[in-house]
Amino acid sequence: MSVVWLQLITLLCLSFGAPSRADGYEVIRIKVGKQVTIQCKSASNQEMLYLKRGLNEEEDIFYLTDLKSTINQKFTDRLQFHGQVPNVHILLKNLTLDDTGPYWCVYKMSSNYKLKTSRGNGSVLLVVTESGPAPVCTGQSQGDLVLVSVVICAAVLIVVLTVFLIWIIIKTKPLRSTVKKRQVPVNDVYEDMRGTIRR
């Protein structure tokens, strides 16, 4: 029984956890029709920047080198960029529900006649919603969310363990009788013999 509870608590804790900034991305919730700026940055000198979309970076949204830039046909009238490789600010305007998904800042650099690919900072998980508040989750708020979820999980675990221990104590503790035992006079053969001997 307790194993089931522990598995359930673990599942709840993991499902309410937040992604960390250590992965190099942030989660942005924004309304339909608004705009978002993706800030691609890299510490090292890079030659090419790709903005890719999808879990496996399957769709090229934007490509930039020192000489040219290419914008995906779906985004030609909605995408603007400012800056030079490796630090580029990419503005996506008039967002739709179809724009929801992960966007990756991918850098490529030729070295020894081979292209080396690396992810840069600034990648985002964009969630476009129809209505409601659109908070932007930054590293600090994600850290707070992780801390709150860990505290809640620990409190739930302590309560469950306490209830379980109380249940075990109640089940194993023998019930004490509250009725006092009454002394019954014993009619024993030996007592009768003692009485006749004394006479």
The pair of structure tokens assigned to 142 is: 């994600």
Task: Please give the pLDDT value at position 147.
Answer: 79
pLDDT tens per residue, range 70-127: 888 888 898 888 888 878 888 999 988 888 889 988 888 877 777 778 787 888 888 8
Task: Decide: pTM greater than 0.85.
Answer: no
Amino acid at 164: F
Which residue(s) pair with 70 in the sheet? 63
Is 2.60.40.10 the CATH classification of the domain at 22-136? yes
| pLDDT top residue among 11 and 54 | 54
CA dist list (Å): 153 to 10, 129, 139, 145, 159: 8, 29, 21, 12, 10
Q: What are the sequence ranges of the domains in the chain?
A: 1-18+139-161, 22-136
